[in-house]
Amino acid sequence: MSIDNIIAAGVSRAVKELYGIDTDAASIVPQATRKEFEGNLTIVVFPWVKAARKSPEAVGKEIGDWLVDNEPAVDRYNVVKGFLNIVIEPTYWNSVLKHIASDADFGITAATDESPLVMVEYSSPNTNKPLHLGHVRNNLLGFSLSEILKACGNRVVMTNIVNDRGIHICKSMLAWQKWGDGVTPEKAGKKGDHLIGDFYVLFDRHYKQELEELMAQGMSKEEAEKASPLMAEAREMLRKWEAGDPEVRGCWKMMNEWVYSGFDETYRRMGVGFDKIYYESDTYLEGKEKVLEGLEKGIMYRKEDGSVWADLTADGLDHKLLLRSDGTSVYMTQDIGTAKLRYRDYPIDKMIYVVGNEQNYHFQVLSLLLDKLGFKWGKDLVHFSYGMVELPEGKMKSREGTVVDADDLMEEMVSTAREVSQQLGKLDGLSESEIEEIAETVGLGALKYFLLKVDPRKNITFDPKETIDFNGNTGPFIQYTYARIRSVLRKAEEQGLAITDYTAVVPDEKEIALIQWLNDFAGVVAEAGRNFSPALIANYVYELVKLYNQFYHDHSILKEEDAAVRSLRLELSAVTARTVKKGMSLLGIKVPERM
């Protein structure tokens, strides 16, 4: 039993004996005592004050006295208003450490066949351009959230919806047909997604030039946009695609395959993946069918022009278009179709969409519509809404080719990691293959940690120079500390220094602080799952390595002559390393064994 549970159980017994109050121990949640007060754990006594008919201070003192007399883990206490600050008997922390060390999965709850099935959708790329920095944050958040939910005992299905149809796809296709001269990724020596992205930018360049020429002839911008022959060709291509034209569909299929091959390469390097991928080209017709079904049931209505709408004014929203007058679908329709297919494929208990905060309203509407259409998880769907990633010089624009490409970014991070690590002498004596592996681990770890340590709801300004630093709240600082601990443990093994009994050792303040923080891991994982926040894990691990470095600075480990004291410190080091590795893996970050 963890120390938190022991204290909660003791307090539950105390209030029963003292005041005759039945309180479930599970409802008593000890908190870490604030630094300005003496103590390890704090209990709020206000819930029992009314029934006890005594002041908060008196209740705190009576419960404190009872714990000192009856609970061996409690050494002493102090009361500040309605807060009972408990000091744990120092040697008791050794049994807490032993308990954590004995459980290889401490902090992780395994799923069972009865566990809730949670589906997490993330990535959602368009097939007209490569993944960029914004996608990187989305992918890392989605993957990390999935890992955290698994660690909280859920069954998790990771899904991706690929936006593979629409006018934006036709723009790239048309540009390739007009100016591509039959080029392929192999001929160009480029990843397929990069090649298609080039043609998307090229279309926009020609389109802007065409608008300028039309406006020079006296047209307004709006008139020029309507008269643009290039845009008319793109719209005609979309019409042909929707009609199943073999030539257009053949070109679309070929170019999409190029893009998927490029995406897969990026996903592999990023370390993310999916259990199931859905495609808008498969889901939009399903969505139309579901909307027409809703129309028959009176959930939706049709306007005179033939368009189909949902009236959400009774829910505090507005009227929402679901099918245009020409029968074509909108994004909302496609999302309904995707939901239908997912619900058919999996008995989902909860659905989480990892999508930027600019889509907040969209998901309010989607939740209501899915609920009205009979999806049991519709009302409770979660829009994991996150902030945008910007550069020091401002926002990124795909059409203008000013985005930070995900592949280029990862390559730059790995290259910078190699350079910085060599300058600091952290790669001395390693083989070239080891250097490459460490550079990859540190570079990508720096990128992932920087994007995940911030509250997901906040916007981020991304500056690569800030991320690769072996000091401060960064991925490399954590990775280097892990490698340092692993080095200590390897040397102990080489010297034959085994971990023996340390129960009688009186740990000092820094050792206790480290054990208590290790003990908090399970609670942090649970809280990160409840709040959908990888940042809680990231900052927990950072605080853990800070505490370890303070302990390491002040305590001899391998040279400690007292075998019991040395054993305590080796156990502390081993459990810290394991917890760091576990925490970082929940963020999708690897840690190097040596550095």
Question: Residue 277, SS3?
Answer: strand
Q: Give the pLDDT of residue 396.
A: 42
Calculate the CA 508 to chain-centre distance: 36
For the segment 146-191, what is each residue's pLDDT rounded down to a tens digit? Answer: 999 999 999 999 999 999 998 999 999 999 999 999 999 999 999 9
**Tokens standing for 41?**
């754990």
Model pLDDT, residue 106: 95
Enumerate the β-bridge partners of residue 157: 119
Q: Which pTM was predicted?
A: 0.91
Secondary structure class of 256 (helix, strand, coil): helix
Is residue 394 predicted with pLDDT exceeding 70?
no
Q: Which tokens sit at 25?
A: 């121990």
How does 450-464 read in b/e, with b if 16+ C-beta sit within 10 Å? bbbbbebeeebebeb
The label of the residue with tokens 């994991």 reads 384
* CA pseudo-torsion sign 385, 477, 107, 140: positive
Q: Which two tokens stand for residue 560?
A: 């400690």
Mean pLDDT over each residue of the chain, to the nearest integer: 93
Quick: pLDDT tens for 474-498.
999 999 999 999 999 999 999 999 9
Closest by CA to 573, choosing from 507, 487, 508, is: 487
CA nearest neighbour of 537 among 576, 580, 575, 573: 580
Least confident of 191-205, 236-250, 378-392: 378-392
Q: Give domain 406-586's CATH number out of 3.40.190.100, 3.50.50.60, 3.40.50.11310, 1.10.730.10.
A: 1.10.730.10
Q: Please, which residues bridge with residue 84 across strands?
A: 43, 79
Model confidence at 376: pLDDT above 70: yes
3-state secondary structure of 159: strand
Nearest-10 crossing angle of helices 534-554, 475-494: 50
Domain ranges of the chain: 3-89, 164-274, 406-586
- Count CB atoms within 10 A of the CB of residue 556: 11
Distance between CA 586 and CA 1 in Å, rounded?
A: 24
Crossing angle of helices 521-531 and 534-554, rounded to 10°: 160
Nearest to 80 by CA among 139, 15, 36: 36
| Element containing residue 454 per DSSP (H, E) | none
**Are the beta carbons of 271 and 444 closer than 8 angstroms?**
yes
The answer, yes or no, to whether residue 392 has pLDDT greater than 80, is: no
> Distance from first CA to last CA of the chain, Å, rounded?
36
Q: Say how far apart CA 323 and CA 332 lie, in whole Å.
A: 9
d(CA 101, CA 99): 6
Do 580 and 591 touch, CB atoms closer than 8 A? yes
Strand order in the sheet with 117-121: 276-279, 155-162, 117-121, 350-356, 382-386
| Mean pLDDT, range 560-588, rounded to an integer | 98
Look at residue 513 and tell me whether its pLDDT is greater than 80: yes
- pLDDT greater than 50 at residue 398: no
Q: Could you give the CA distance from residue 485 to residue 489 in angstroms, rounded to a whole number?
A: 6
Question: What angle, rounded to 10 degrees, do the helices at 432-452 and 406-423 form?
Answer: 120
Asked which of 4-8, 113-117, 424-428, 557-561 is least confident by mean pLDDT, the reply is 424-428
Tokens at residue 199, please? 């043609």
Tens-place pLDDT, residues 300-315: 999 999 999 999 999 9
Supply the pLDDT for residue 399: 43
Do the domains spanning 3-89 and 406-586 agree at the CATH topology level?
A: no
Return all residues near 296 (Cβ < 8 A) that are at least 6 apart: none
Position 400 scores a pLDDT of 47
pLDDT tens per residue across span 51-88 = 999 999 999 999 999 999 999 999 999 999 999 999 99
Is the CATH code 3.30.1360.70 the one for domain 3-89? Answer: yes
* Of 293, 359, 357, 356, residue with least CA distance to 322: 293
Q: pLDDT value at position 397?
A: 47
The whole-number average pLDDT for the span 4-19 is 95
Q: Where are the alpha helices (DSSP H) in 312-456?
A: 331-345, 360-372, 406-423, 432-452
| Residue of 557, 395, 380 whose CA lies nearest to 486 | 557
Q: What residues pair up with 302 in beta bridges, in sequence order?
A: 308
Q: What is the pLDDT of residue 393?
A: 62
pLDDT at 154: 98
Enter the tokens of residue 587: 């963020």
What would the two tokens of residue 364 be?
Answer: 């309010």
Give the whole-angstrom CA distance, residue 192 versus residue 256: 9
Query: Residue 71: enclosing H or E segment and its boundaries?
Result: none
Please compute the mean of the pLDDT values over residues 97-115 and round it to a whole number.
95
What whole-number distance in Å separates Cα of residue 447 and Cα of residue 317? Answer: 39
Q: Please state the rounded mean pLDDT for residues 432-457.
A: 93
**Higher-scoring residue by pLDDT: 8, 324:** 8
